[in-house]
């Protein structure tokens, strides 16, 4: 443990060791301030490539560039101090060969200081996972619905809803675990399949739309906050952040239009304390300290 902090940052093996001991709590995070809040409650934070859709308005995760993952990855690592930060490798940055994957994953780890990366794909990525782990890169796997393959699948569709599909997905899980992945995201699969996989592999399963049978859960933060306008069916909204934001912005707009904002409290005074002749509200003159006030508890006047 560092002499400078009382709490050590979790590492990939700490997450792996939580299997069957305690449920693993995870959320996506894309920026520093939300990462700092989620850090107090989550075991790991995923800088998901879903940020391309949520933050940048892309229709899928396919166009997300590596540099964007690095920018947001840095922000989340700066914001979080206890949680493991896992960065999603974007489409096109790791599939070509183990060597290309290593080069790009190493770049992400060096430039963000994250603790692990995540790559989509089961059996087809087994060799790459082994190659990365052998060279010092902790890898989280992601199987079931793999959104980077949306153009092959034909939509964001749940997987394993037919019994015949199970064997292939179970084999994906077995091989990525065998290859040294420290955890595995199961996305949009049915409960019996998630239960079979969770019981049969030694690494934790993190479900998103994959039932209670998993060792942990993850959601896209904006979805569970109630900020995303449209969400997948597996999302539970734990907040109404969209409404909170809209209320604040509506009130701000009203206050600007009615000239209720800014008040002297939100305005710089002259250093000599000389009162301004023009717009000073009479009841605030006596309260002038000659300094700008940093912060107000009331965000706006009541309409």
Ligand X SMILES: CC(C)C(=O)C(=O)O
Q: Assess whether 254 carries a catalytic annotation.
A: no
156/252 with CB nearer ligand X: 156
Tell me: is residue 215 an annotated ligand-binding position.
no
- In contact, 196 and 5? CB cutoff 8 Å: no
50 is in an annotated binding site: yes
Contact assessment for residue 123 and residue 184, using Cβ atoms and an 8 Å cutoff: no
Give whichever of 4 and 236 is closer to ligand MHF, judged by the CB atom. Answer: 236
Going by the DSSP 8-state scheme, the letter that residue 276 receives in this structure is P
Please say which residue, 108 or 220, places its beta carbon nearer to ligand X. Answer: 220
Which chain residues interact with ligand X by CB under 6 A?
28, 46, 48-50, 88, 142, 185, 187, 208, 218, 220
Binding range to ligand MHF, per CB under 6 A, among 17-25, 103-111, 132-140, 227-235 = 227-235
88 is in an annotated binding site: yes
Asked if 233 touches ligand MHF (CB under 6 A), the answer is yes
**Could you tell me how many residues of this chain bind ligand MHF (CB under 6 A)?**
17
What tokens appear for 144 in the block?
């079931």
- Asked if residue 232 binds ligand MHF (CB under 6 A), the reply is yes
Residue 277, C-beta contacts closer than 8 angstroms, at least 6 positions apart: none
Tokens for 129? 């996972």
Rounded to whole angstroms, how far apart are CA atoms 193 and 186? Answer: 10
Which one of 14-22, 47-55, 78-86, 212-220 is the stretch in contact with Mg ion (CB under 5 A)?
47-55
57 binds ligand MHF (CB under 6 A): no
Closest CA to 140 of 283, 28, 275: 28
Shortest Cβ distance from residue 46 to ligand X (Å)? 6
**120 is known to lie in a ligand binding site:** yes
Residue 54 contacts ligand MHF per CB under 6 A = yes
DSSP-assigned letters across all residues of 92-136: TSSSS-HHHHHHHHHHHHHHH--SEEEEE-SGGGHHHHHHHHHTT
Q: Is 173 in the site for ligand MHF (CB under 6 A)?
A: no
Place of tokens 């069916």: 233
| 53: DSSP letter | H
Residue holding tokens 């796997």?
A: 141
Of the residues 187, 191, 243, 246, only one is catalytic, namely: 187
| CA 228/CA 51 separation, integer angstroms | 12
How many CB atoms lie under 10 A from the CB of residue 21? 9
Q: How far is residue 156's CA from residue 16's CA, in Å, rounded to a whole number?
A: 28
The answer to whether the beta carbons of residues 48 and 89 sit under 8 Å apart is: no
Quick check: 170 binds Mg ion (CB under 5 A)? no
Comparing CB distances to ligand X, the nearer of 18 and 288 is 18
Complex with ligand MHF: residue 66 or 188, whichever CB lies closer: 188
Asked if residue 225 binds ligand MHF (CB under 6 A), the reply is no
277 near ligand MHF (CB under 6 A): no
Just list the catalytic residues.
187
Residue positions forming the annotated binding site: 49-50, 88, 118, 120
Binding site for ligand MHF (CB under 6 A): 50, 53-54, 61, 145, 147, 155-158, 188, 209, 220, 223, 228, 232-233
């Amino acid at each position: 443990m560092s002499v400078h902090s009382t709490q050590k940052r979790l590492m990939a093996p700490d997450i792996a060791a939580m299997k069957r001991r305690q449920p693993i709590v995870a959320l996506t995070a894309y920026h520093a301030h939300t990462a700092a809040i989620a850090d107090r409650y989550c075991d790991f934070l995923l800088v998901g490539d879903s940020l391309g859709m949520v933050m940048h308005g892309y229709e899928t995760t396919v166009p997300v560039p590596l540099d964007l993952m690095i920018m947001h990855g840095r922000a989340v690592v700066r914001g979080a101090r206890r949680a493991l930060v896992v960065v999603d490798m974007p489409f096109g940055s790791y599939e070509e060969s183990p060597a290309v994957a290593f080069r790009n994953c190493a770049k992400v780890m060096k430039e963000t200081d994250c603790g692990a990366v995540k790559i989509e794909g089961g059996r087809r990525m087994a060799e790459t996972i082994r190659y990365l782990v052998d060279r010092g890169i902790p890898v989280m796997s992601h199987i079931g619905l793999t959104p980077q393959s949306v153009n092959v699948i034909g939509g964001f569709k749940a997987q394993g809803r037919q019994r015949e599909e199970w064997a292939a997905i179970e084999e994906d899980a077995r091989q990525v675990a065998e290859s040294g992945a420290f955890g595995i995201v199961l996305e949009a699969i049915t409960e019996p399949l998630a239960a079979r996989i969770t019981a049969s592999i030694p690494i934790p399963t993190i479900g998103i739309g994959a039932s209670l049978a998993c060792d942990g859960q993850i959601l896209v933060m904006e979805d569970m906050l109630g900020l995303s306008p449209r969400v997948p069916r597996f999302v539970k909204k734990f907040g109404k952040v969209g409404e909170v934001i809209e209320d604040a912005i509506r009130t701000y707009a009203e206050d600007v239009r009615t000239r209720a904002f800014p008040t002297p409290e939100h305005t710089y005074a002259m250093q000599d304390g000389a009162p301004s002749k023009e717009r000073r509200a009479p009841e605030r003159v006596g309260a002038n300290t000659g300094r700008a006030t940093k912060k107000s508890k009331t965000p706006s006047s009541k309409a």
